[in-house]
Structure 1
Amino acid sequence: MKKKAAVIDMGTNTFHLLMVALDEKGFETLYKEKVPVKIGQGGINQNLILPDAQKRALHTLDHFKHLIRGEHIDQVFAFATSAVRNAENGDVFVQKIHQQTGFTVQVIDGDREAELIYKGIRMSGCLDDSNALMMDIGGGSVEFIIGNRHETYWKGSFEIGGQRMLDLFHHQDPMSQEDRTNLTEYLSQHLKPLLVAIRQYQPKQLVGASGTFDTLTDIFIASTEEIKNRAIHKHLLPLKAFYEISDRLIQLNKEERLQIPGMISMRVDMIVVASCLIRYILRQLDSGDLLCSTYSLKEGVLAEIMEQADRNQDVTVNTLE
């Protein structure tokens, strides 16, 4: 018999809700929603969650709580990542969430975040026996994992997420050449451990998870006048198409980017710096076309739940009162 569960991913830019019915063999999505809460806006580089951001977060979590109750789900897994784990007022914010919504939020470190992202990507079918470099571009941090469908060899979390890069380098719109050059130098300094790992493990495939990669895939598919099959969780993005899309994003301002078929408003700001990051990473690899996984942290949580159920282990849950 399938059990119901809900996963809440409190990202720096976007809050995700995923409600499922699952057993050890798989899961059925009952409902999912994403909301551009932007808890890092205005304060992320000062390690603060500002009052307006807290209000947006609490309003969204209250909305999620009503949806979860409406589906009669009492097993809730809530996670917070970069913005909350680095905020000086993060602990107080988590306590406030529990007081107002009943959710017990697990604030996870970068290694744990990368581990869950890997498990989600693996479940999408994007991995095979050869080594791949996996990346997930969040608003606060970016996670990188090197491994294959059997195991991981290296993982790292870097506090260079989209909101941070946006605040530091996207001073003009369209983004100036000077800002793009400064961003590249910044990445070269901050990603040295990743560059060492790439030389050591020599991954040939770049696999991007959700977020920015979903939007890039949507833009590419829209350009072919096809309809994206939401039942497929692994999408190919030709390298030539990526560079064409990225060139276009860099050259346009916000209003012009919003007119691109496949673009969604919650990605329109960060997608420029995110595409610059992807370009930088591709230059470090001898990679073919991009693979894009629609699965990431949320689905990694479900993969763990199913693994634990298969081993008859107790699963740590947050039970709503």
Structure 2
Amino acid sequence: MKNKAAVIDMGTNTFHLLMVALGEGGFETLYKEKVPVKIGQGGIQQNLILPDAQKRALHTLHHFQQLIRGEEIEPVFAFATSAVRNAENGSSFVKLIRQQTGIAVQVIDGEREAELIYKGIRMSGCLDSGNALMMDIGGGSVEFIVGNKDTIHWKGSFEIGGQRMLDRFHYHDPISREETDKLYQYLSQELHPLLAAIREFRPSQLVGASGTFDTLTDIYLASRQEKKRREVHRHRLPIDAFYEISDRLIQLPKKERLEIPGMIPMRVDMIVVASCLIRYILRQIDSQDMLCSTYSLKEGALAEILEGVGVNSDLTVGIGE
């Protein structure tokens, strides 16, 4: 494996860096890191990236830049999603990033984001010939895809991400019954296109990608005194186990949620509303368990690089001086 590449996913809550060596039909992870930048914090409801959030973002991207240089990686694929694409100052922020770090950021729409997530999930081995409902809960948006290992039947992106739900519905600690009821009512109103797609294509499996689903898997494995293996990218979470975990997340205050084995501080707030969203989705499909993919957008981008399609030279940029 001689060729190398780096992918940066600038999510609303978390920035991810993945550096790999590319080989015949696959890749080897050289290094990966995630940082809770929270660029949507404080400004997401006003469609702004606030100055403090910009400072955190630039600091993290400078850090990523140094790591990429250290590995002597030239092609860098950087993607920005919900918070940046919806921000009134998103374009100026992207220009500032290029000026200060040399990183050219591709701001992608929700449809493109869903496509990359699908390709990442497919690479994880979570899909077969049956129709599945895939979801990735970001801080700003949530992407849903209905499809199988061969094709996408339907995809959609909804601006109902964890930070947005948190700001709008989670005021008490723990979250109140009134707040969860309002959240479920809101989801019923916002997700009509998804519900129509579920009725049409009848997915029988729920597949969650990365983020919240990683943490749910960690909590489940910790409860069984098992450790997650780096080489495994597909985890099965029984529905009963999910509801048991979700009940605790909803009922416990933050201090006690932090003490749950497998919990990480960067997820402790958003995971409450995210678990409510998953509960709502599970009511819509007849899934006996949940599959959790450790692969998502970043790996989807790598899948396209390996295929030689989609991610092209227009998105490839070296790190500037």
* Pair 1:148-2:148 in alignment: yes
Separation in 1 of the partners of 2:47 and 2:28? 37
Separation in 2 of the partners of 1:314 and 1:191? 36
- Displacement of 1:315 after TM fit? 7.2
**Pairing of 1:68-147 with structure 2 (within 5 A):** 68-147=68-147
- Displacement of 1:131 after TM fit? 0.2
- Displacement of 1:130 after TM fit? 0.3
Matching residue of 2:48? 48
CA RMSD, Structure 1 to Structure 2 (Å): 1.2
Separation in 2 of the partners of 1:145 and 1:58? 32
Matching residue of 1:172? 172
Q: What SS class does the counterpart of residue 194 from structure 2 fall into?
A: helix
* Pair 1:10-2:7 in alignment: no
Q: What SS class does the counterpart of residue 308 from structure 2 fall into?
A: helix
Matching residue of 2:222? 222
What one-letter code is carried by the residue in structure 1 that aligns with 2:167?
Answer: D
Residue deviations 1:104-131 (CA, integer Å, cap 9, x gap) = 0000000000000000000000000000
* Pair 1:271-2:271 in alignment: yes
* Pair 1:320-2:319 in alignment: yes
Separation in 2 of the partners of 1:152 and 1:202? 13
Q: TM-score, normalised by structure 2?
A: 0.98
CA distance 1:314–1:15, shift in 2 (3 Å) = closer
* Pair 1:247-2:247 in alignment: yes
Cα contact 1:5–1:20 (8 A) shared by 2: yes
* Pair 1:292-2:289 in alignment: no
Matching residue of 2:301? 301
- Unaligned 5+ segments in structure 1 are none
Matching residue of 1:212? 212
Moved segments of 4+, more than 3 Å: 313-316
Residue deviations 1:177-203 (CA, integer Å, cap 9, x gap) = 000000000000000000000000000
What one-letter code is carried by the residue in structure 1 that aligns with 2:101?
Answer: T
Cα contact 2:7–2:78 (8 A) shared by 1: yes
Aligned length: 319
Cα contact 1:13–1:163 (8 A) shared by 2: yes
What one-letter code is carried by the residue in structure 1 that aligns with 2:35?
Answer: V
- Unaligned 5+ segments in structure 2 are none
- Displacement of 1:314 after TM fit? 5.7
Cα contact 1:126–1:207 (8 A) shared by 2: yes
Q: TM-score, normalised by structure 1?
A: 0.98
Matching residue of 1:187? 187
Cα contact 1:12–1:138 (8 A) shared by 2: yes
Cα contact 1:308–1:315 (8 A) shared by 2: no
Q: What SS class does the counterpart of residue 39 from structure 1 fall into?
A: coil
* Higher mean displacement: 63-72 or 21-30: 21-30
Residue deviations 1:127-185 (CA, integer Å, cap 9, x gap) = 00000000000000000000000000000000000000000000101000000000000
Cα contact 2:106–2:315 (8 A) shared by 1: no
Q: What SS class does the counterpart of residue 155 from structure 1 fall into?
A: strand
Matching residue of 1:25? 25
Cα contact 1:84–1:90 (8 A) shared by 2: yes
Separation in 1 of the partners of 2:62 and 2:318? 15
- Displacement of 1:262 after TM fit? 0.1
Separation in 1 of the partners of 2:24 and 2:178? 52
Separation in 1 of the partners of 2:230 and 2:187? 33
Identity %: 76
Separation in 2 of the partners of 1:231 and 1:289? 21
